[in-house]
Structure 1
Amino acid sequence: MNTLSSTLWPWMALAGLGAFHGLNPAMGWLFAVALGLHRQSRGLVVLALAPIALGHAVAVGAVLLAVIVFGTVVDATFLGRGAGILLIAWAATHTLAGHRTPLRIGMQTGLAGLALWSFMVASAHGAGFMLIPALLSLCVSPGMGGELTASTSVPISFVALAVHTGVMLAVIGAVSLIVYDQGLAFLRRGWLNMDILWSVALAGGGIFLLAG
């Protein structure tokens, strides 16, 4: 892998995972559509996207922060291996039981409740853990002595979180408005099984970290 591709792939992965999270109904667009249809308001669909993105960003950001904190006191190789095992375990848990324990919230919730719901769903699905391979690739490199330091990792993590959340917000907004305008008949024509793809993505990230 040349220098340019090794520099770009983590950012492309962050953007791709943002799009993937945005496409997943469990991450919030289905709730935004349902809320808009319930109150007959297209504007509410758009307004609901802000707390959904905020809750998701906080959940993901908490994981990235934990990685940085542990990475400054734990060997980067050990951290990567541990994160890989955790990702694979999370994938197995999600495959076996994740979709059987949905988090519920009523249509009368406010924006604060929606943000809290988004945070809980993203945390329960392990959304932040998916970003660990890309984050470690950005923060730990031969040019940095193979070590993870807070002075370089914190700014990179903020940018990574902004890229990921920005792409997710764009995708979730587009999907929400399309489904709202088309009606629920759009969903009856078929939709990908995101549970399976989600588990595969988690396991793939874990295998990448263990093989790296």
Structure 2
Amino acid sequence: MTLTAVILLGAFHGINPAMGWLFAVARGLQERSRDRLLQSLPVIALGHLASVALVALVVGATGSLVTGTALSIGAGVVLVAFGLWRLLSTRHFRWVGMRLSLGQLAAWSFLMSSAHGAGLMLLPVLTRIPAGHHGHAMSGGLFVAGIHTLAMFVTAGVVALAVYEFAGLTVLRRAWFNLDRMWAVALVGAGVFTLVQTAW
């Protein structure tokens, strides 16, 4: 998985309404304020970054304790299992009420990103960062997490503003594509790809 793939994956997360842009639009429409929408997006991105960075730090911290092959196999199995769980699950995490503080919004984003396995999708690239010096592996993982989140933030911002300005939530009620299922299939696909690549 190249850096380009990491950026594209971040863009995919940005398009996914479950990752936050839909929530930002809802807050903007509720308050009839574009500023409220724009205020929400960086906080949502911060929660997403925290979720992804946590995975990157764990991989960086354990890289010297386990072989890359074992970690890749484990990552592939986790991706496939988590993807199948998301694909077959009908339960969704819900937050009570829409009037949240910025801290609560960041926590919501962290929980949603973690629940959807955002960091897990980066395991194929995180497990291939050269272990070398312990600090290099961790800083490399955080760099990947940062680039990924920046792509997610930009994409989510563009989508949120377009929906807020031109469509509103009524369009989403008429034409809804289940990105959550697509996301689950992508998780399974990434896991299978990781396992096949490790086997070779």
TM-score interval, normalised by the smaller of the two chains:
over 0.9
Residue 179 (structure 2) pairs with residue 194 (structure 1): yes
Structure-1-length-normalised TM-score: 0.87
Matched residue SS, 1:100? coil
Shift of 1:88: 0.4
The correspondence of residues 27-38 of structure 1 with structure 2, limited to 5 A, is: 27-38=19-30
- Give the stretch that moved more between structures: 45-54 or 99-108: 99-108
CA–CA distance in structure 2, aligned partners of residues 123 and 55 of structure 1: 9
Once the two structures are superposed, residues 38-88 of structure 1 have per-residue CA deviations (whole angstroms, 9 ceiling, x without a partner) of 111011101000110000000110011111122210111001001100110
Provide the aligned C-alpha RMSD in A: 1.5
Match of 1:47 in 2: 39
The correspondence of residues 50-65 of structure 1 with structure 2, limited to 5 A, is: 50-65=42-57
- Correspondent of 1:115 among 103, 106, 111: 106
CA–CA distance in structure 1, aligned partners of residues 132 and 115 of structure 2: 27
Residue 11 (structure 2) pairs with residue 19 (structure 1): yes
Match of 1:75 in 2: 67
Q: Percent identity?
A: 43
Once the two structures are superposed, residues 12-41 of structure 1 have per-residue CA deviations (whole angstroms, 9 ceiling, x without a partner) of 111011001000110001110111111110
Once the two structures are superposed, residues 108-142 of structure 1 have per-residue CA deviations (whole angstroms, 9 ceiling, x without a partner) of 111110000000001111110001112223x04xx
- The residue identity in structure 2 corresponding to 1:155 is S
Moved over 3 A (4+): none
Shift of 1:156: 1.4
- Correspondent of 2:170 among 185, 194, 200: 185
| Residue pair 1:84, 1:210 contacting (<8 A) in 2 also | yes
- The residue identity in structure 2 corresponding to 1:190 is A
CA–CA distance in structure 1, aligned partners of residues 92 and 172 of structure 2: 22
CA–CA distance in structure 2, aligned partners of residues 61 and 133 of structure 1: 15
Structure-2-length-normalised TM-score: 0.92
CA–CA distance in structure 2, aligned partners of residues 133 and 149 of structure 1: 20
CA–CA distance in structure 1, aligned partners of residues 56 and 112 of structure 2: 17
| Residue pair 1:76, 1:148 contacting (<8 A) in 2 also | no
